[in-house]
Structure 1
Amino acid sequence: MSRKDEIARNLDEVTRRIRAAEAAAGRAPGSVRLIPVSKFHPVEDIEILDGLGVHLVGENREQEARAKAEHLAAAGRQVGIAMIGQIQSKKANAVARWAREVHSVDSVKLARGLDRGVALALERGERTDPVLPCLVQISADGDAARGGVPAGEIDAVVGAVEEAEHLAFAGFMVVPPLDADPAEVFRAARTLTDAHAGALGRDLVLSAGMSGDFEQAIACGSDIVRVGTGVLGARPVR
């Protein structure tokens, strides 16, 4: 079986499971978006996904994502890259040049850095889209080392994204800690998302669920699932 056939088969199967989970939860068909995670996989796999109609993939590491984004742009590919991993504040300018979306904003400092980075990239002609959609990453356990915003700081970070000229606050992202009940984390994140949506008077999305738990996340209200292994297989040994 060719690599293209393998990825197409996996993509169809994951999509089927997402649609089944939507139906089981009484949700509208197609209401959950799949973002394949391409970390450590070659850029050629992203090109295959682009040919299969995938418009956005997720990456965790800035240097790897930047190289892939540059390759895809040079090849005239339409697929974009969302940054879903932790971002050091000093990398904000770099991320702002290539990211289609950022799903891991976890501090006021980072939000302001990304805003400045987009402005600089526009000024230099390194970016054409003047607005960078952002999700604020929630810390379910308050451990800053794992990324995410502790409960007491969420309003400040959301406010910084809302105030930024070149950022658009689109919702929240969460990764359950290994020792947590995923369903409990997903439901709490959905409640938080809905509360902020009500306060802002517009819809917001929740990104929750990966290869091992995305069906559970959909049952708890996730709008975006991030699936790597299920679509692209085991990550190559680095």
Structure 2
Amino acid sequence: MGETDCRRRQLEENLDRVEARIDRACSSAGRPRSEVRLIVVTKTYPASDVRLLAELGVRDVAENRDQEASAKHAECADLGLRWHFVGQLQTNKARSVASYADRVHSVDRSRLVTALSGAAERAGREIGVLLQVALDAPSGPVGERGGARPDQVPRLADQVVEASSLRLEGVMAVAPLEGEYAGRPAEAFAQLSEISTTLRTRHPAATMVSAGMSADLEEAVAAGATHVRIGSAVLGVRPHLG
């Protein structure tokens, strides 16, 4: 068996295990499996893996660094995938990201909304936006993973709705490393679910809740996540980056 065939089998087995975890989590939460979509985070892995994942039925892939994402998208543009940008985004990268991302999960400040809206309009595209919520910062400084404080979400949501070429789709969060919810992903994601519910009273179409990674997808599904972002459980443990 060749190297490509071995890698394909490895990815297929890993995908099967992740899908089984999502199935069990949905069953435990009393939710239909169709309510939760898998996004495979392919950062640090080659375009050849993206192609294999597409062959295995994956339709949603995510990246967190623009330079890698733009190159990989160009190599895989023929696959018809949905590309999600999930990393912290600098405003000077908005033009590039707007050229390929179907959704940006990490919108967390007014200047980024303005930059992304202008870039999407110039590119002739409409981009889905999720507001990243910093669950480690209910009122104080935001941690290293970024995000808007919960009390900033309503104003930011209104700005996205008013912006041209952007579509408000929901909220995103990462289980926090600091603050009240550090080490307590179930409670953190429950808080995100409350924020999502409040957001939908004003913006009913913003139904997406992007939460949960390889270590905590079960807690995220139990709290109502609609999209889980899974990397290492599918692709393997990532190499340390220099």
Q: What's the TM-score, normalizing by structure 1?
A: 0.92
Task: Give the structure 2 partner of residue 65 of structure 1.
Answer: 69
Q: Distance in 1 between matches of 2:168 and 2:113?
A: 10
Match of 1:34 among 12, 24, 38: 38
CA distance in 1 between partners of 2:144 and 2:17 (Å): 34
5+ unaligned residues in a row in structure 1: which ranges? Answer: 123-129
Equivalent position SS for 1:169: strand
Q: Hey, what's the Cα distance between the residues in 2 that align with 1:166 and 1:38?
A: 26
Contact kept? 2:11, 2:235, Cα under 8 Å: yes
2:113 matched residue in structure 1: 111
1:93 aligned onto 2:95: yes
Equivalent residue, structure 2, for 1:135:
130
Listed one character per residue, the Cα deviations across residues 5-56 of structure 1 (whole Å, up to 9, x for unaligned) are 1101111110111011001100012211110110101111111111111111
CA contact (8 A) 1:19 1:30 kept: no
Aligned to 1:127: none
TM-score scaled to structure 2, two decimals? 0.91
**Aligned equivalents of 2:186, 2:219: Cα separation in 1:** 7
In the other structure, the counterpart of 2:24 is 20
- Paired residues of 1:108 and 1:156 also in contact (CA < 8 A): no
CA-atom RMSD, angstroms? Answer: 1.3
Q: After superposition, what is the alpha-carbon deviation per residue over 1:49-76, rounded to whole angstroms, capped at 9, x for unaligned? A: 1111111111111110011011112xx2
1:32–1:218 CA contact under 8 A, matched in 2: yes
1:173-221 residue CA offsets vs partner (Å, 9 max, x unmatched): 0012124111111001001101111222335111111000101111111
The match for 1:50 among 51, 54, 57 is 54
**Structure 2: 5+ residue stretches without partners:** none
Identify the residue that residue 188 of structure 1 maps to in structure 2.
191
Secondary structure, in 3 states, of the residue corresponding to 2:80?
coil
Correspondence for 2:83: 81
Identity over the aligned pairs, expressed in percent?
38
The answer for the alignment partner of 1:152 in structure 2 is 151
